[in-house]
Amino acid sequence: MFYNTDLTSRLMLGTARYPSPAVLKQAIVASGAEVITVSLRREGAQGTAFRELLAESGCRLLPNTAGCYSAREAVTTAQMARELLGTSWIKLEVIGDPDTLQPDPFGLVEAARILCAEGFEVFPYTTEDIVVGERLIEAGCKVLMPWGAPIGTGQGLRNIEGLRSMRAHFSDVPLVIDAGIGAPSQAAMAMEMGFDAVLLNTAVANALDPVAMAAAFARAVEAGRQAHVAGLMPRRDMATPSTPVFGMAELA
C-alpha cells in the first residue's frame, strides 16, 4: 500500500525511450503494472497524444522530477506536474552528480519537506543510506525508493548488505527499488529480500522485445514476492544432507 492506495501489481514501469507509442502501450499491458512514471519534460515534449496514451492505459500516473539538480527546480517541476496531470503523487528526484545520477541528499530532503508540507505524496529517489532515509521520513515521506544501482546501468543490486540493512531498519515503511535493475532475476532478488515493489524503465524499453521483457519482469516480481512470503531457507556454511541418516542400511 502506498499512501493509502492498494495495488495488485508490485511492478512499476517507466515510459521513456520505447521504440514507439504502440510498443509502450503493449509493454504496459504485458507488465501488469498499475503505476507508470512519466517525466514532465517528456510529457510536455510529446504533447496531447502522449497524455492520451497514458490515460488509456488505466494506470495511476507517478510524475517525476527527472533532470532536476536543485530543490527549487524539483519543487517547481512537481507543482507543474500536479497542475497538469491532476495528481499529488510525485517521484522526487534531485540529482547531485551528472555522471552517476546519484541523488543529492541535502536537496532531496529540502525538497521533500517543502512538497510534503504542500500536500504532495512524495516517492523520493534516494540511496540505501539509512540516515538520509530517516530525514526523509521526518520530512513527511511515507515511502522510500532506494536505488539498486545508478540509473540505466543494469547492474542490479550493487550493495546487497546495505539494502538488507535498510529493509530491516525501515520494517514498517514501504520500500521500492528504483533504478539499476537490468534483468528479471535482479528484480526477483529484490522482492525475495522483502522490498515492496520494483520500478524500472530501461531494461524493458531497450530490450529487443520490450513487450516480452515486460512480461518476464512481471513474472519475476511475482515469483520473488511469493518466495519471500513463503520463507526462503537460510544460508548455511556447511552442507546438510537432504536424505536422513536414520533408516539407512548398515553394511557389515
- Residues annotated within a binding site: 152, 179-180, 201-202
- Closest alpha carbon to 188 in 232, 146, 145: 232
- Binding-site entries for 1-deoxy-D-xylulose 5-phosphate: 152, 179-180, 201-202
- Detail the DSSP E strand segments found in 52-209: 60-64, 89-92, 121-126, 145-146, 176-178, 197-200
State the Cα–Cα distance between residues 248 and 124, nearest whole angstrom. Answer: 58
State the Cα–Cα distance between residues 74 and 178, nearest whole angstrom. Answer: 18
Cell of 29: 499491458
Distances (CA, A) of 241 to 87, 136, 153: 55, 47, 40
Q: Which long-range contacts (CB under 8 A, 24 or more apart) does 209-216 make?
A: 210/18, 210/19, 210/23, 210/24, 210/26, 210/27, 211/23, 211/26, 211/27, 211/30, 212/30, 213/27, 213/184, 214/13, 214/27, 214/28, 214/30, 214/31, 215/30, 215/31, 216/184
Active site residue 91: yes
Of 42, 82, 91, 135, which one is the catalytic site residue? 91
Write the burial class of residue 119 (CB in 10 Å: 0-12 exposed, 13-18 middle, 19+ buried): exposed
Active site residues: 91
